[in-house]
Amino acid sequence: MKEEINTNAEAVEEEEEDEDVAEFKAILEELIYISNHPKNIWKRREVSLLLLGIFVEDISMYMIRHPHYNLLENLFAEIMMTDYKLAPKSLRSCLIGRSLWACNSIADLVPRGESGTLFMHQVIDFAVESLREKSNDTSVYLIATRCLIKYSRKFKSEELQQFAPKFETILDSLLFLVDTATLEYAYLPIEAFQTFSKINEDTVAQMTPKVTPKLLTLFKNYHSEGALGQELINLFKLWCNYDQCREIFVDTFIPFIMEIVELYYNSTPNTENKDNVLSLKD
């Protein structure tokens, strides 16, 4: 009787797995059909990328349960196949944003090995190009920055050297985000600066004269904002390890600290504290 029950249970489980496979194949085929439909192809492409990003968690769970059924190469191809230059201008920024979001969503599925490395290179190139494109929306810059951080962290520091020239071309775009992003997302360009700072001292030396004044202003205004203030402190501590950065800190950081001291001196009602601060300034 027990053997019969076990046999029936196994049969039911296999049947459920077959249904899962059939359902998942149907979803994937529908995504590809929507993506390549000749009518309203660009709008359908946008919907396809949106659905792909939504279903990526289910795709991940499915691949864990069915490791023999590899969807990754199809997914990589679907995400990266769009020629955005051919898309209507009204949809171009949205399509780029959807594709970057899909790349960001699928990041944890990317395997080690040739196909995974190729895809990671493609995503980094795509994110850099998206940040360099002046016509893109701020929202595209934000998701491109998030994507760049996530995929760059998949490489060792010495492997990131190859991307140094590309990273140097997007400093202005990241500074634009420092100026325009809401406080909720201001940490993203700072995390990007941290990632790039781990490449080599020359890259940091080129970056700091441009970046430091704006980051100090950000720190001055929002140093008490928990995570953001800590991210800035971590970045400054990292830069202090490089000889070439010390001059820029002497020129910008020390005057900034004295300004903070003066603000404290002018705002504190405690005369004893004022005298202590004054003696520090002297």
Sign of CA pseudo-dihedral 39, 43, 49, 52: negative
Rounded percentage of the chain residues whose pLDDT exceeds 90: 8
**Please, are residues 247 and 211 in contact by the beta-carbon 8 Å criterion?**
no
Task: Count CA within 13 A, CB hemisphere, residue 176.
Answer: 18
pLDDT at 12 over 50: no
| pLDDT (0 to 100) of residue 124 | 93
Q: Report the pLDDT averaged over residues 138-160.
A: 90
Q: Report the pLDDT averaged over residues 13-21.
A: 61
86-90, 145-149, 229-233: which has the minimum mean pLDDT?
Answer: 86-90
Domain ranges of the chain: 1-154, 171-282
| pLDDT (0 to 100) of residue 147 | 93
Most confidently predicted of 83-87, 96-100, 103-107, 150-154: 150-154
Q: Report the pLDDT averaged over residues 274-280.
A: 52
| pLDDT (0 to 100) of residue 143 | 92
Q: Which residue has the tokens 């201001």?
A: 186
pLDDT at 17 over 70: no
| pLDDT (0 to 100) of residue 125 | 92
pLDDT at 72 over 80: no
The contacts of residue 66 (CB under 8 Å, 6+ apart) are: 17, 20, 21
- Tell me the three state secondary structure of residue 183: coil
**Please, are residues 222 and 228 in contact by the beta-carbon 8 Å criterion?**
yes
| pLDDT (0 to 100) of residue 207 | 77
DSSP string computed for 40-100: THHHHHHHHHHHHHHHHHHHHHHHHH-TTS--HHHHHHHHH---GGGS-HHHHHHHHHHHH
pLDDT band at 68 (very low <50, low <70, confident <90, very high): low
| pLDDT (0 to 100) of residue 112 | 76
| pLDDT (0 to 100) of residue 2 | 45
Question: Alpha helix (H) ranges present in 198-239?
Answer: 201-222, 226-239
| pLDDT (0 to 100) of residue 145 | 95
Least Cα distance to 57 among 104, 117, 25, 6 occurs for 104
pLDDT at 212 over 70: yes
Least Cα distance to 102 among 132, 88, 129, 122 occurs for 122
Dist CA 154 CA 148 (whole Å): 10
**What is the amino acid identity at position 150?**
K
pLDDT at 141 over 90: yes
Rounded percentage of the chain residues whose pLDDT exceeds 70: 74
Q: Report the pLDDT averaged over residues 56-76.
A: 71
Q: Report the pLDDT averaged over residues 68-92.
A: 73
pLDDT digits (tens, 9 = 90+) for 164-205: 888 888 988 998 898 888 888 888 998 998 888 877 777 777
**Please, are residues 169 and 124 in contact by the beta-carbon 8 Å criterion?**
no
